[in-house]
């Protein structure tokens, strides 16, 4: 077990390092001249005179060879220093840390809603014996993944904020203000949970142990929940990492729609301002969320299903 944990941790670190490298390649290497981009985006950089450019170039180390720059940046990034935001001058790390709680609240609520709604839908659809109801329920997830989230958010605002006045249209005001954004964010994710879970539930219901349980005289509801769902949710767990990453990324759109403070809005503003250090911080942070979630799942998984350690090598490539 200990070796397993150490191996997982090493893999996670490896993925993070690689994600950082990707962001370095895309953001620092790809633009013809990041310094000019920064100089024109920065606030007190006024006239873009050659001297200033040279100074900036030196300050950011762009006058060094790419590999030296890379090593330099990586060294700082490992210590949690992603540099300062070009637009605000504040350190990237603290900018992200300040915005994070709001976004975690939002994505946490959305994940909860997604699992409840999506899971509930999958259970109901596979449990019901009425054909039309099953058809109807199973037609909802494809709908959920096809509607643009920003559109759903705006329709909800129109209906529940402006017409019915039940919830605020924007902002971070308490639980009330969380309802509409979390629901908006939960719809596509919940639909995916429903799709995955419904599929594995149907598979599980065909398995021998379900037959056995039935034969032993367990009630239909009991078999459905105790036996089938428990086993069906294990494979569904593996996509949670993907979904959490998606939720955090989805906050860019949802926080913009609801003018909510948080990581997503910081990201949108950073992209608009071509704030390269900040965008880089966000990208690596996204990977960190994904890796951490998967790490937690990987570590919890063997506890839920001891068989998994044997098969761990194939799944390793996901971490």
Partner 1 sequence: MSQSLVDADADDPAEAAPGPTRPTDGTGTGPGPGRRIDVRRLLRFLLRRPGLLLSVVVLVLVVLASFQPGLFTSQDPLKGVPTQNFHGPSGAHWFGTDELGRDVFSRVVHGAQLSLKATLIAVAVAFVVGGLLGVVAGFVGRWVDDVLMRCVDVLLSIPALFLSLALVTALGYGTVKVAVAVGIASVASFARVARAEVLRVRQALFVEASRSCGARWYSVLGRHVLPNAAGPVVVLATLDFGASILAVSALSFLGYGAPPPAPEWGTLISDGRNYLANAWWLTALPGLAIAATVLATNRIARALDGEWSRQR
Partner 2 sequence: MTALPDVRSSRWAALTALVTTGVLLTACGSNTDNSGSGDGPAKSGGTLTFAVGSDAGCVDPQQVGSNDTIYSVRQLVDSLTDQDPKTGKIVPWLAKSWDISSDTTTFTFHLRSGVTFSDGSKLTAQVVKDNFDAVPKLGALGTLAQGYLSGVTSTTVVDPLTVKVTFAQPNAQFLQATSTHSLGIESSASVKRTPQQKCSDGVIGSGPFVLKQYVQNQSITLARRTGYAWGSSRWSKKGEAYLDKLVFKVVPEAGVRAGSLQSGQVDAIGSVGRANEAALKGGQVTLQRRANPGVVFGLGLNNSRPELKDARVRQAILFAIDRQQIADTVFPTGTRAATSVLAHTTPDYTDLSSDLSLDAAKAKSLLDAAGWKAGSDGVRTKDGKKLSLTIDWIPNSATNQPALELIQQQLKAVGVQVTLKQLQITQLAPTLQSGDYDVAWGNITRADPDILRSNFSTRLANFYRVPAGSLDTALSAQAATTDAAKRKQLVGEAQQLIVQNAYYVPVVELQTQLGVSKKVHGLAFDASSRIQLHDTWIG
Query: Is residue 308 a contact residue for partner 1 (CB under 8 A)?
Result: no
CB neighbourhood size of 23 (10 A)? 22
Place of tokens 């032993």: 216
Least distance (Å) from partner 1 to the CB of residue 221?
A: 27
Site for partner 2 in 112-131 (CB under 8 A): none
Over the window 89 to 108, marking each residue x when it contacts partner 2 by CB under 8 A and - when it does not, the resulting string is: xx-------x----------
Q: What angle do CA 292, 295, 299 make, to 5 degrees?
A: 140
Query: Is residue 174 a contact residue for partner 2 (CB under 8 A)?
Result: no
**Taking CB within 5 to 8 Å according to partner kind, which of partner 2, partner 1, none is near residue 282?**
partner 1
Pairwise CA distance, residues 172 & 153, whole Å: 15
Query: Is residue 161 a contact residue for partner 2 (CB under 8 A)?
Result: yes
Query: Is residue 52 a contact residue for partner 2 (CB under 8 A)?
Result: no
**Taking CB within 5 to 8 Å according to partner kind, which of partner 1, partner 2, none is near residue 44?**
partner 2
Return the range that interacts with partner 1 (CB under 8 A); candidates 26-34, 44-52, 54-62, 88-96.
Answer: 26-34
Site for partner 1, rule CB under 8 A? 15, 18-19, 21-23, 26-27, 30-31, 142-143, 145-151, 154-155, 157-158, 162, 188, 191-192, 195-196, 199, 238-239, 242, 245-246, 248-250, 252-253, 256, 267-268, 270-272, 274-276, 279-280, 282-283, 286-287, 289-291, 314-315, 317-318
């Amino acid at each position: 077990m200990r070796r397993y944990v150490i191996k997982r941790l090493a893999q996670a670190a490896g993925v993070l390092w690689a994600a950082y490298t990707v962001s370095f390649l895309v953001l620092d290497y790809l633009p013809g001249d990041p310094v000019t981009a920064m100089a024109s985006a920065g606030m007190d950089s006024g006239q873009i005179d050659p001297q200033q450019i040279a100074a900036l170039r030196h300050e950011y180390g762009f006058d060094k060879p790419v590999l030296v720059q890379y090593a330099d940046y990586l060294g700082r990034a490992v210590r949690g220093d992603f540099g300062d935001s070009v637009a605000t001058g504040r350190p990237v790390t603290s900018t992200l840390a300040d915005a994070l709680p709001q976004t975690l609240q939002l994505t946490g609520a959305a994940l909860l809603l997604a699992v409840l709604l999506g899971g509930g839908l999958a259970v109901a659809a596979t449990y019901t014996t009425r054909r039309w109801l099953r058809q109807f329920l199973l037609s909802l997830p494809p709908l959920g993944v096809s509607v643009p989230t920003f559109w759903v958010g705006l329709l909800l605002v129109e209906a529940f904020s402006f017409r019915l006045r039940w919830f605020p249209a924007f902002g971070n005001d308490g639980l009330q203000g969380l309802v509409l954004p979390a629901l908006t964010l939960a719809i596509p994710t919940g639909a995916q949970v429903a799709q995955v879970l419904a599929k594995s539930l149907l598979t599980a219901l065909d398995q021998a142990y379900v037959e056995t349980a039935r034969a032993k005289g367990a009630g239909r509801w009991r078999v459905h929940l105790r036996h089938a769902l428990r086993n069906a949710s294990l494979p569904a767990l593996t996509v949670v990492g993907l979904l959490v990453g998606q939720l955090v990324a989805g906050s860019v759109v949802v926080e913009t729609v609801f003018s909510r403070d948080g990581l997503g809005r910081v990201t949108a503003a950073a992209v608009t301002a071509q704030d390269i250090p900040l965008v880089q911080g966000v990208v690596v942070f996204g990977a960190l969320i994904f890796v951490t979630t998967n790490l937690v799942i990987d570590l919890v998984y063997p506890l839920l299903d001891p068989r998994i350690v044997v098969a761990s090598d194939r799944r390793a490539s996901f971490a």
